[in-house]
Structure 1
Amino acid sequence: MAYQALYRKYRPKTFSDVVGQEHITNTLKNELSKGKAVHAYLFTGTRGTGKTSCAKILAKAVNCLSPENGDPCLKCESCLSVENGENTDIVEIDAASNNSVDSIRELRDRVAFAPSSSKYRVYIIDEVHMLTISAFNALLKTLEEPPEHVIFILATTEVHKLPATILSRCQRFDFKRIEPDKICGRIKYVASNEGLNITDGAAALIAAAADGGMRDALSVLDLCASAGNDITEETVEKVCGMAGGEYLNELTDCIKKHDTEAALMLADRLYNNSVDMQRLIGELTSHYRDLMIIKTVKSGNKPIVCSAAKLKKLEEQAEDYDIRDIMRAISVLQAAAGRMQSGNRRCEAELTLLKLCEPQLSGDIASLEKRVTLLEQGAVRRPQAAAAEPEKTEPETSAEPEYDDEIPLPEPPDVSDNTAAAQNTAEGVSAVPEAQWSEIMRVVKTTCPLIHGVLNNSRAYIKGQYLLIDAPNSQFRSLINGNNGYYKDSIRKAAHTVLGVTYKLGPYKAAQKNEESDPLAALADKLKNFEIN
């Protein structure tokens, strides 16, 4: 005998065998036990939840010669003929391939004939939402007033596509996703009957991958059984092309530490191991969803499908995360999943990891909130108040120059000279930390490589609302003071990205010791700067 897939071999034969849909099976059993079968049923729900199986059981039950509390007996002549595929009074129609108005007209003509050997002629129309509008219109009258010997059972995964006139003529049953613990129980039952050794963690992982569908769960189990009789979590991860729990934990830690290089290298390893990038983004979304549940649901019964060891690891990881960071990560990952339907999936996954590791590169609301939080925590240096600057006595009608006059670098104060120390403090000049200036240079390199080369080995300082740049390259002044504002904009935007503040730019010149200032030379420098801008 040819091999039969597990989901077909273990398809329920009675309402009592159906798992996870008790709210439907109990209602149908009560109706049939009281002899109140209606002329049209509508079964709707996600894939693999038992719609077609219940339709076939219902077709057997209404024609069963010895029903048992609404269930078919599976022993009478009618039940056996259905099981053997010999009953011509039960007709299954695939609406996806028979969706024309001509197909429905042919069906309408056949409805008038009485059943050959059963009490009812049952028509099961699967994927009924695929019918055309004309086909629906042709079915309306027959569906509203069919002959007494005819029962229609419509099944669909997209009930919103059905016309209201069809919905109003049917008794509707909504199939829900099957709970993970019930899927786990069914998987263990099937594995035991098939002589397979499966761990609790592997069963939980299959249940999570099935997303509430029993057929998908049994298909995954069938695939795992091909790899061997001993099924572990590693077996399921390999067969399904999953990244694996350890990789997800490592990737999440990289994002938390803002370690972009490690995250991208890990994604490259997973890609080389044939992990689908779209599945990786989906698994990472589920991982962050689990962290969100742990942070928000304080009761012991959390809606998370995983082993006890993985739950403990998730709880440890959630302690280091802020709920706002988790929500931002989920938003970024959800948006990336939508864009992965077309284009380069690997590139999209890497861009997503880059945004997660470096929120300053993203302009969405969640990223801006993250940057504001970093500012509040002092992670990014804020400029000193502009009020600390001495007032400028410039005419109101003249535009303020882009570049201020050069402000000398204050010399280290002599600890024995209190007057010098007070004077240097009053100047209000502070150096931009080297790490932040390097990050600004990295951003500038992506937008304007030319100015990045000119600013090599440069330093920056903040005085009030000015960002003062000390560049050893002599070309810096000529490029910045030219008519092309693109160079200045590149530096300003990069500084705003990293520091979160928009500064005016100015050159920086270190003070020279023991030299008397020349008032005329200083005035000439000021006039030169004003003329340039």
Structure 2
Amino acid sequence: MAYTALYRVYRPQTFQDVVGQEHVTVTLRNALREQRLSHAYLFNGPRGTGKTSAAKIMAKAVNCEQPQDGEPCNQCATCKAITDGSVTDVLEIDAASNRGVEEIRDIRDKVKFAPSDVKYKVYIIDEVHMLTTEAFNALLKTLEEPPSHVIFILATTEPHKLPATIISRCQRFDFHRISLREMVRRLSYICESQQVSVEEQALTLVAKMAEGGMRDALSLLDQAISYSNEKITAADIMQITGTVSQGYFSTLARSVANRDVAQVMEQFDKVMVQGKDPEQFLHDFLYYYRDMLLLKTAPHLEEIVERTMIDDQFAQVAQLYEIPHLYSAIEVCNQSLAQLKWSTYARVLVELTLVKLCQLPGQSPQQGATQSAAVSNTASGEDLAGLANRIRQLEERLAQLAQGQGLQSGQAQAEEPRKQEARRPVAAAGGGSRTPMNRVREAAMAVNEALSRQVRGQWSQILADVKKVKIQYQAWLVNGQPAAVGSDSVVVTFTSPIHCDKTMEPELKNVIERAILGVVGRPLQLLSVMEEEWQSVYQQAAQGDAQKQEEQDPFVAEAIKLVGEGLVEVKE
């Protein structure tokens, strides 16, 4: 006899068998028990959560010869015939392949005929959102007032695509993603029934990979049973799904925290040699950082962790990261994932992302503690006699300044740094952007770091909103990177002069600024500049701040550091 897939063997046959949808099954059982049946139902929710199975159970329950507390008996001839699919009055229609108006008109014409074998005609229309507009219009009147012997059950994964006129004619039931705990319990029961030996960690990994869909979990378990010899292990699940182990990511994250670029590149090359997909690798690494952030901010919510197991190694690696560092790492990975969809060189982009992660501002707690200890040791080991000598010299110079004796020498030394002022760099040759550089300088002088991080983190959403207007607009903008946000403007740097100039055209510029307003929540003017121009302006702004500090008399500055600004008074 041919082998039957597990998700077909263990398809729920009663409402009690439907896992994780008690809010739906209890309501339907009560309605069946009290004979409060509606003429149309809408089941919507993620894939593999039991929508079609619940519809078939409903069809059996309304036609069962001996119903038991709102459940079908599954023993009578009617229940067995509906389970076998041999009842012509219970029709399951795939709207993806029967989406035209002619198919719906055929249903509408046959609805008026009474059922031949059972009490109710049941029409189960799966993926109903695939119907055309004309087909929906043909279904409207019949769906609102069908004959008393007909029940419609519509199932869909995308209810937002259904017309409001269809939804308002149905009782709507929202199926939820199945929780991790319930899915593991169900998988364990199936393994016991199949007499399969399996590690608990492997079942947890299968449940997490299924992302709330029981059908996906059973398909993966079926594949694992075929792959494994005696016992299903977590390593088997990782091998057949192409995922990377948590221990690998822990080693990689530790090397990133230590800023060891060579070790990071070596680790990445290992997974590339095994044929892993760079985009899937970066996606999993993003979720690793996401789970680490949840561990540090909400340590008691272990059930919402997506990809990782909370073990000692994971907790130790998490101690190497501060929360702001995790924010930055997640933003960098998210931006790179958005760019990967348009990049030809996926591996190079992922390698660039890993190098960026190693060079993010901030440091691990261990590094901070090491540097603090070094500073403390240096301070404690400095010669106290030398400090006393420096204090005495400063006191003598302050006395000379007060008497006017050292004024000329002080002015000469104060003018010396001005003579050594560095020449301001100029923009690279080859023409600049059409953006007014005075606005760029203003933005560089008043950078809002918090808003800059927000824009960088939401840049992929801004690109998506621009794409909704016109995909060509997004293609012009995707080459840019948000460099800084000032008081009322955002500086976006480009490596291509064509993209830089194009984004400053009035029509495209207005579209981008509207997208930024919709995502960020405040109006910001777009300033598109070449990356070399921005580096030049940013260095000028930094040198301007340094120059202000250098213009102060060095003796006065040293005195302020020593005794405080309140005790120093300079007389001409």
- Same fold by TM-score greater than 0.5: yes
Q: Could you say which residue in structure 2 is the equivalent of 1:347?
A: 348
Counterpart CA distance in 1 for 2:419 and 2:45 is 62
**Is the contact between residue 14 and residue 72 of structure 2 (CA under 8 Å) also seen in structure 1?**
yes
User: What is the CA deviation profile of residues 463-500 of structure 1, one whole-angstrom value per residue up to 9, with x for unaligned ones?
Assistant: 8995589xxxxxxxxxx9999599xx999966888999
User: What is the CA deviation profile of residues 407-454 of structure 1, one whole-angstrom value per residue up to 9, with x for unaligned ones?
Assistant: xxxxxxxx9xx89xx999x9699xxxxxxxxxxxxxxxxxxxxxxxxx
Change (3 A) 1:483 1:118: closer
Change (3 A) 1:97 1:199: same
Q: Secondary structure of the equivalent of 1:70?
A: coil
**Is the contact between residue 288 and residue 308 of structure 2 (CA under 8 Å) also seen in structure 1?**
no
Counterpart CA distance in 2 for 1:300 and 1:341 is 32
Q: What is the Cα-based RMSD across aligned positions, in Å?
A: 3.8
Q: Could you say which residue in structure 2 is the equivalent of 1:321?
A: 321
List aligned pairs for 1:372-383, cutoff 5 A.
none
Counterpart CA distance in 2 for 1:68 and 1:132 is 39
Counterpart CA distance in 2 for 1:288 and 1:482 is 38
Counterpart CA distance in 1 for 2:13 and 2:132 is 32
Answer with 298-307 or 73-82: which moved more.
Answer: 298-307
Q: Could you say which residue in structure 2 is the equivalent of 1:453?
A: none
**Is the contact between residue 257 and residue 358 of structure 2 (CA under 8 Å) also seen in structure 1?**
yes
Q: Could you say which residue in structure 2 is the equivalent of 1:295?
A: 296
**Is the contact between residue 428 and residue 532 of structure 2 (CA under 8 Å) also seen in structure 1?**
no
Counterpart CA distance in 2 for 1:6 and 1:207 is 15
Counterpart CA distance in 2 for 1:496 and 1:254 is 34
**Is the contact between residue 6 and residue 222 of structure 1 (CA under 8 Å) also seen in structure 2?**
yes
**Structure 1 position 331, deviation (Å):** 2.5
Q: Could you say which residue in structure 1 is the equivalent of 2:542?
A: 501
**Is the contact between residue 287 and residue 306 of structure 2 (CA under 8 Å) also seen in structure 1?**
no
**Is the contact between residue 287 and residue 307 of structure 2 (CA under 8 Å) also seen in structure 1?**
no
Counterpart CA distance in 2 for 1:342 and 1:233 is 34
Q: Secondary structure of the equivalent of 2:115?
A: coil
Q: Could you say which residue in structure 2 is the equivalent of 1:110?
A: 110
Unaligned runs of at least 5 residues, structure 2: 372-389, 398-408, 432-529, 548-572
Answer with 125-134 or 324-333: which moved more.
Answer: 324-333
**Structure 1 position 146, deviation (Å):** 0.7
**Is the contact between residue 254 and residue 320 of structure 2 (CA under 8 Å) also seen in structure 1?**
no
Change (3 A) 1:153 1:464: farther
Asked if 1:220 is matched to 2:220, the reply is: yes
Change (3 A) 1:59 1:137: same
Q: Could you say which residue in structure 1 is the equivalent of 2:158?
A: 158
Q: Could you say which residue in structure 1 is the equivalent of 2:283?
A: 282
**Structure 1 position 129, deviation (Å):** 0.6
Change (3 A) 1:116 1:11: same
**Is the contact between residue 493 and residue 502 of structure 1 (CA under 8 Å) also seen in structure 2?**
no
Counterpart CA distance in 2 for 1:204 and 1:465 is 66
Change (3 A) 1:159 1:45: same
User: What is the CA deviation profile of residues 497-532 of structure 1, one whole-angstrom value per residue up to 9, with x for unaligned ones?
Assistant: 8999357999xxxxxxxxxxxxxxxxxxxxxxxxxx
Task: Count the aligned residue pairs.
Answer: 411
**Is the contact between residue 43 and residue 174 of structure 1 (CA under 8 Å) also seen in structure 2?**
yes
Give the letter aligned to residue 101 of structure 1: V
Q: Secondary structure of the equivalent of 2:262?
A: helix
Structure showing greater Rg? 1
Counterpart CA distance in 1 for 2:37 and 2:426 is 87
Q: Could you say which residue in structure 2 is the equivalent of 1:312?
A: 312
Give the letter aligned to residue 93 of structure 1: I
**Is the contact between residue 428 and residue 464 of structure 1 (CA under 8 Å) also seen in structure 2?**
no
List aligned pairs for 1:86-485, cutoff 5 A.
86-228=86-228, 229-299=230-300, 303-304=304-305, 310-344=310-344, 345-359=346-360, 466=421
Counterpart CA distance in 2 for 1:198 and 1:340 is 37
Counterpart CA distance in 1 for 2:350 and 2:44 is 34
**Is the contact between residue 292 and residue 326 of structure 1 (CA under 8 Å) also seen in structure 2?**
yes
**Is the contact between residue 258 and residue 358 of structure 1 (CA under 8 Å) also seen in structure 2?**
yes
> Normalization by structure 1: what TM-score?
0.69
Q: Could you say which residue in structure 1 is the equivalent of 2:385?
A: none
Q: Could you say which residue in structure 2 is the equivalent of 1:410?
A: none
**Structure 1 position 349, deviation (Å):** 2.3
